[in-house]
Amino acid sequence: MSVLRIDSSANTQDSVTRALTDRIIERLGDSHVTVRDLAHEPLPQITHTWAVARVTPESERAPEQIEALKESDKLVAEMMAADTIVIGAPVYNFSIPASLKAWIDLVARVGVTFRYTEAGPEGLVKGKRVIIAMASGGTPVGAPMDFNTPYLKTVLGFMGMDDVTVISADALATDAEGTIASAHQAIDALKPSDAAKAA
């Protein structure tokens, strides 16, 4: 099974989401893991050149447009090649880190990862399993103030990834030990058939 691991925590030491993704990867067993660490290797923001290039037919793209899409093409290829995608997504100010938003902006490509049809939008990234490791000081999953997990489920689903599991440690400020233990239990409860569903 091929796994794409995405870490987005700016905290590269003692990060709860990084520790949870470690445990998830271990639970997935014998897998080929590609690591995309958005703190160690920050991604560029999209630009005007990028935005125009993505809707320009490939045969008509200027050299600077081809260059502008190179990183995006690489990220899309990584995502497409994975059977399972594991995303570490801490809550920053009620939402996802800017580094993770940059990744989403670069992989959400009309005509590549989704398309518009007469019946409405259609996601083109199918057959993937996504596991999100979410950590927060006190933003409970599903609470009105949680703009992290609903957004991720929406944008991933828009691209065709609707098999999404959220593992949460969402009470770190009030019960760090308890909320991490609960997240560990959720990870350990993943059955091998669940963890490798897309393999």
d(CA 109, CA 69) in angstroms, rounded, equals 10
Q: pLDDT tens across 109-125, in order? A: 999 999 999 999 999 99
How many residues appear in the chain? 199
Query: β-strands 84-90, 129-135: how paired?
Result: parallel
Query: β-strands 2-7, 32-37: how paired?
Result: parallel
Does position 197 have pLDDT exceeding 50, yes or no?
A: no
Q: pLDDT tens across 169-195, in order? A: 999 999 999 999 999 999 999 865 444
d(CA 129, CA 150) in angstroms, rounded, equals 17
Domain 2-195: which CATH class?
A: alpha beta
Does position 136 have pLDDT exceeding 90, yes or no?
A: yes
pTM: 0.93
Domain boundaries, the chain: 2-195
CA 59 from chain center: how many Å? 30
Are residues 157 and 122 in contact, defined by beta-carbon separation less than 8 angstroms? no
Average pLDDT of the chain is: 94
